[in-house]
Structure 1
Amino acid sequence: MSERGEETGFEMAIVVPKRKEKEGYGGCNDCVDFLVRELEKAGLIVERVVGVPAEFIKLAAPIETLGRAAAELQMKKLTYIGMELQFEWDQVAAFVRQPDGSLFSWCERFNLFHYLIYGIVNKTDSELMLKFDGEEFQVERNESVLRRMEAEGFVKEVFPLHDEVKRKQLLRNWAFNYLDFTWQPIDEIYSYFGTKIATYFSFLGMYTRWLFFPAAFGLAMQLIDFGPLQLFVLPAFFIFIISWAVFFFQFWKRKNSALLARWGINYTLSEYKAIGTEMSSFTRMDTDVEKKFDIYKMIEKSKLQRDEWLGLLLRIRNNVIVVLAIICLQLPFELAYAHLYEITETEVLRYVLTAGYLFAIQYYTRIGGKLSVTLIKYENNQGEESSAASLVYKVFGLYFMQSYIGLFYHALLHRNFSTLRQVLIQRLIVSQVLENLIENSIPYLKYSYKKYKAVHKKKHERGSSVGKPVRLSTRVEKEYLKPSYAASIGEELDDGLFDDFLELALQFGMIMMFACAFPLIFCFAALNNVTEIRTDALKLLVMLRRPVPRAAATIGAWLNIFQFLIVMAICTNCILLVCLYDQEGKWRIEPGLAAILIMEHVLLLIKFGFSHFVPEEPAWVRANRVRNVAQARDVCSKQLLKSISSLDRKWD
């Protein structure tokens, strides 16, 4: 426990390869001993563990160490007046704390750990000679010791550790809390995993709660015989689910903004900081510098415009490549599967065919994902988030064709709604069960294989000598063998949330676009998501390493995909209603068809019009933002007046 009341747990680990036993450990120039001494000098708490697969250096940081590192790094943090200012350890009381009372978020602590451990450099006036396992290497002046050890292969990995106290608390209050179906300790999740993962679970919980309303409506339609009113109940259900989806996403935006306000993320008044920077630089410029600056701005503007249009053309080219690959390669494969499913007579063979298809399509989509990652590298995307969004759009196109073309085939070409309902049930059951099985079994199998390999190697080194059995006795070596939270494709650009959001988006499209054909589908989705909350929690807390934090504060490109699926749902369900009510199979403009077309236009109006009736941020968030903007304006105005006054005195 640190002086200011914050618990200090081991949160980072450095992995060092096992050395030969005959060489021993230690020595005046041993690089590991040198690194440990420097880490302790930097204020970190260090514990060395010799495990079966490797040697580990566990690191913890008192709050004072992190605070002084944040000041050295000139980290910007939110203050109680709503402005982000440079952190000062002596003025720590002025900075907003996290919901759990800690000073720094997990993302900030992770960055500070990296700053501290990679900031250990050779401060001598000459090259530093170090040794590891009998091999010598040198570290140049002002070179990072840890990076040099990584380049030489003497450090295998640096990864975050689970905090056992907080992890067990989350297991008890979250993963094993089956009685509260959708409740989650979002603030604790945010403090432990960071903004992006907390935002995902907040979205998943809200989405699941809202699913109970259409699930109840669909269950009532399944159990109650409405008689002659049945023709009116189905359109009413259609209008209800579209309105439900529109309002859900509007209220999600409100909740997202409220979460960010509570976490102190959406108060970054960068525009005022930019104004202050520009005005202060303006007061320091003379006439000649201003002219040069104007010329530089013109050149920079031309370059930015050129890069903007070049990036747009590159994205269009890459999107065309992906679309052609979908049409020429994936579409025939999907239609062939749909046709085989149609002509297959027994249900058992259909389930086997569906399972085989889902296994086979995984390889195709992974190849498409790898191709998308390669194409994105040649785009002029601005930052990692822009690249990740481009990857999301491209890969979702592959999965969109994979998930829905067979359903369109049964619904539109053959107009076989009995088969369509069976396919929907099988897709939900097989795909969801298969996805959950893969999500939880693959990490366990990877861990078991790595564990067996490490233990077998240790036994082989011992030979036939009798001794204690080889076991993984420490938590850090077990975590080292666990797989990381990574996406199945595009690990360079996104983490495992890519797969989790993709699963939600595909489910949302399936239940929305074919709702009129099978209203009970919402019940299956709600039950699946209740289970998904707990399985995803167990996956993150037990099966995988602690994820590296990411700063994304919204669901990003996935929101646009969900909005696109709502528009698609309006179109497809209108077509389904036409097919259901046109018993003779003839496309005739009748009053019923005209009513459906009118309903389609009304729903599109609801989609694009009702969103303006629900504000995207709550009133208290907007009021706080306005107050903080006014305070920031006052501060910037005072700084500007001081700059102008000092400039006038200089000219006099």
Structure 2
Amino acid sequence: MKISWSAYDTFEANFKPLVVIELAENTRDETKEWLTQKIVEKKKNGGAQLLVKPLVEDGKKIDGNQNIYLVGASHLRLLLGAETVGLVKECNDNTMRTFTYSSRKTFKNFAEDNHDFLTMAECQYIIKHELENLRAKDEKMIPGYPQAKLYPGKSIMRRLLTNGILVHIFPLHDTEELKKLGHTWYGQLKISYQPLNEICSYFGETIAFYFAFLEYFTFALVPMAVIGIPYYFFAWEDYDKYVMFATFNLLWSTVILEVWKRCCAVMAYRWGTLLMKRQFEEPRPGFHGVLGINLVTGREEPVYSSFKRQLRIYLVSLPFVCLCLYFSLYVMMIYFDLENQVYLYHEENQSDLSSLLLYVPSIIYAVVIEVLNRIYRYAAEFLTSWENHRLESSYQNHLILKVLVFNFLNCFASLFYIAFVLFDMKLLRQSLATLLITSQILNQCVEAILPYWLQKRRNKTVKKKVKSLEIDTDLSLFEQINLEKGMDTYLGTFDDYLELFLLFGYVSLFSCVYPLAAVFAVLNNVTEMYTDALKMCSIFKRPFSEPTANIGVWQLAFEAMSVISVVTNCALIGMSPQVNALFPDSKTELILIVVLAEHLVLAIKFLMAFAIPDKPQDIRIKLARLEFESLEALKQQQMKLATESLKE
């Protein structure tokens, strides 16, 4: 189908592509025409009032590209959209306020002809918001697809996605900005802070907060690493001297998370997300059910029984998770049997080969753990999707809970068994070192090296294909879109946070018996900064900016791990020979004192969490001032209305 560009250029001739929409190859012409018309239609008529342009125009169809459309918007449309989504920008008086078009001239760097007032990531977020809010009015189905039912209020893009008509929707990279960012971010080896403001401006707050936490966690590990190096070498075989290190570990794991909350609040205020109002959450694309009325919005949408969902969770998902946990423990016992056999072999032979074989079971077990974690992740995603959660936040919370429980048991159960059942500190040190180092090597290979190599091969193939085509359109844009279309889709920060969570567990739980754990964690995180930056800029499609004010549920996950670390380190201190020597006659008294000490430390921990404000004082003052000004403005508006009504 030949689409005339002039038919859609209803706003301005200077079109800047921001978002790419790719439809399925066999998408019918009437569907394309209907969708593009919906995108450009005025808001009052149920459209998005955006600009859309085919990738290849004037009737020149190239295989694989005739279903690709570029979406943009006029400057005015983006400003109005910024008000709709509630973007927060800096004003001329250096305060952060929610942007409104009527007061646009009070914002810093605003000018009618300044098209850089909104960042490209913000513009793409606005377009995504408008596309997702394209809703059916009188349509009963998607034209050309009778099975794709529609009803008033149904999100059109979500229906296209769930029916396989919409293949991809992704924001375009800004090649010049990406090159600058890449050079300052990972293009040179140097000891410096990451360009977090630039990362936030380009990729959005969700990605920026991950890299901010990665950087913060790395610096927080440095004191542990600095203390751990001399501690390790001066007490190589003296396992009785880990009491002081365990005590420091208790304080460290508590303080760093409380300080992070304050750092998080400062960044969220600077980036404008601390003041953003939470949008009403729409049903996730995979949610399905019988058509009914939402009691909150009054709109028609699928309704699914909460009772049925609970039955699926407790009668299917929970038993499956328990079965997986049992299987993980069974594999762990096989590992200990193998460890015992290798140890007996070493006792009999006492050779260099037998000494090396002592590390083989731990290496094999570390590989098995990584494989099991990844297989279970797919099963957890399937189960959580099958539970049919209405909201994306609910889906993510249930998925994270499933994955964290299994990963925690799979990665740490053997260490708990060695420490508190076998009481073998030497084996604990060996197992912790092997698991930590092996998992780091595997993660770097799977997450960075392999994807980078595959992407380089794909890029070469696409470039050859593009150069072989004789087309008159802009080759650089055409090539860029084809390269980005072939990139992997970034699935979010879930796996990245999970890796840091497990690393935090290795360090906070048992590093007192292997002080070099923090050293390897620092080295891993420094490498992770560069490899993750490379992934974001070169391997994955550009993700849409997602405003957020913190790291979400992961804050609770790390705090839960810190609580477990208190219990673990107190138990390790109680097991130390120095402490046992103080209670030679009464083990019951020792246990009671250890439990009392553990409760005391937990009380201090929760007291610190309560006493240390989550937001610095200057941020709290600024928020209170804004709230006061809002209330005063509301009062004045009400008084004005009351005065006018009295005059009438």
RMSD: 5.1
Question: What one-letter code is carried by the residue in structure 2 that aligns with 1:485?
Answer: Y
1:383 correspondence with 2:383: no
CA gap of 1:452–1:343, structure 2 versus 1, over 3 A, is farther
Q: Take 2:278 and 2:624, find their aligned partners in 1: how far apart are those partners?
A: 14
1:543 corresponds to which residue? 539
1:524 correspondence with 2:514: no
3-state secondary structure, aligned to 2:127: helix
1:63 corresponds to which residue? 75
Q: Take 1:587 and 1:332, find their aligned partners in 2: how far apart are those partners?
A: 37
Q: How many aligned residue pairs are there?
A: 574
Pick aligned residue for 2:551 from 515, 540, 555: 555
CA gap of 1:426–1:547, structure 2 versus 1, over 3 A, is same
How far has the Cα of 1:549 moved from its partner? 2.6
3-state secondary structure, aligned to 1:474: helix
Q: Take 1:150 and 1:39, find their aligned partners in 2: how far apart are those partners?
A: 19
Q: Take 1:354 and 1:83, find their aligned partners in 2: how far apart are those partners?
A: 53
1:122–1:143 contact (8 Å) kept in structure 2: yes
3-state secondary structure, aligned to 2:323: helix
Question: What one-letter code is carried by the residue in structure 2 that aligns with 1:600?
Answer: E
How far has the Cα of 1:528 moved from its partner? 1.0
CA gap of 1:618–1:369, structure 2 versus 1, over 3 A, is same
Counterparts of 1:21-60 in structure 2, within 5 Å, are: 44=51, 48=55, 53-55=64-66, 56-60=68-72
Counterparts of 1:207-356 in structure 2, within 5 Å, are: 207-224=217-234, 234-268=242-276, 320-321=318-319, 324-345=322-343, 346=354, 348-349=356-357, 352-356=360-364
1:277 corresponds to which residue? none
How far has the Cα of 1:603 moved from its partner? 2.2
Structure 1 stretch 209-218 or stretch 102-111: which is displaced more?
A: 102-111
How far has the Cα of 1:324 moved from its partner? 2.4
Pick aligned residue for 2:22 from 15, 21, 37: 15
CA gap of 1:342–1:505, structure 2 versus 1, over 3 A, is farther
2:104 corresponds to which residue? 92
2:504 corresponds to which residue? 508
Task: Give CA-to-partner distance per residue, 1:230-259, whole Å, 9 cap, x none.
Answer: 96x632222222212211111100011111
Question: What one-letter code is carried by the residue in structure 1 that aligns with 2:502?
Answer: L
1:480 corresponds to which residue? 485
Q: Take 1:262 and 1:166, find their aligned partners in 2: how far apart are those partners?
A: 21
Task: Give CA-to-partner distance per residue, 1:142-181, whole Å, 9 cap, x none.
Answer: 9999999989988643222221111111111112242125
1:112 correspondence with 2:126: yes
1:421 correspondence with 2:432: no
CA gap of 1:332–1:186, structure 2 versus 1, over 3 A, is same
Pick aligned residue for 1:622 from 620, 632, 640: 620
Task: Give CA-to-partner distance per residue, 1:569-601, whole Å, 9 cap, x none.
Answer: 122223223333178999952887676555433
Question: What one-letter code is carried by the residue in structure 2 that aligns with 1:215?
Answer: A
How far has the Cα of 1:263 moved from its partner? 1.3
Task: Give CA-to-partner distance per residue, 1:195-217, whole Å, 9 cap, x none.
Answer: 11111111110110111001111
3-state secondary structure, aligned to 1:184: coil
Q: Any stretches of 5+ residues in structure 1 without a counterpart?
A: 1-6, 20-27, 131-138, 274-295, 301-305, 463-470, 487-494
1:430 correspondence with 2:427: no
CA gap of 1:110–1:442, structure 2 versus 1, over 3 A, is same
Q: Take 1:523 and 1:307, find their aligned partners in 2: how far apart are those partners?
A: 50
1:69–1:112 contact (8 Å) kept in structure 2: yes
2:54–2:69 contact (8 Å) kept in structure 1: yes
How far has the Cα of 1:559 moved from its partner? 1.4
How far has the Cα of 1:540 moved from its partner? 0.8
Counterparts of 1:107-146 in structure 2, within 5 Å, are: 108-114=122-128
How far has the Cα of 1:53 moved from its partner? 4.9
CA gap of 1:351–1:44, structure 2 versus 1, over 3 A, is farther
1:158 correspondence with 2:166: no
CA gap of 1:484–1:217, structure 2 versus 1, over 3 A, is same
How far has the Cα of 1:545 moved from its partner? 1.1
Q: Take 2:543 and 2:230, find their aligned partners in 1: how far apart are those partners?
A: 42
CA gap of 1:340–1:113, structure 2 versus 1, over 3 A, is same
Structure 1 stretch 560-569 or stretch 150-159: which is displaced more?
A: 150-159
Identity rate of aligned residues, in percent?
25
Question: What one-letter code is carried by the residue in structure 2 that aligns with 1:78?
Answer: V
Q: TM-score under structure 1 normalisation?
A: 0.73
How far has the Cα of 1:403 moved from its partner? 0.2
Pick aligned residue for 2:404 from 385, 396, 400: 396
Q: Take 2:31 and 2:485, find their aligned partners in 1: how far apart are those partners?
A: 23
Q: Take 1:382 and 1:154, find their aligned partners in 2: how far apart are those partners?
A: 22
3-state secondary structure, aligned to 2:631: helix
Q: Take 2:34 and 2:321, find their aligned partners in 1: how far apart are those partners?
A: 55
Structure 1 stretch 105-114 or stretch 34-43: which is displaced more?
A: 34-43
1:174 correspondence with 2:185: yes
CA gap of 1:637–1:400, structure 2 versus 1, over 3 A, is same
How far has the Cα of 1:616 moved from its partner? 1.1
CA gap of 1:308–1:615, structure 2 versus 1, over 3 A, is farther
CA gap of 1:589–1:59, structure 2 versus 1, over 3 A, is same
1:12–1:60 contact (8 Å) kept in structure 2: yes
2:291 corresponds to which residue? none
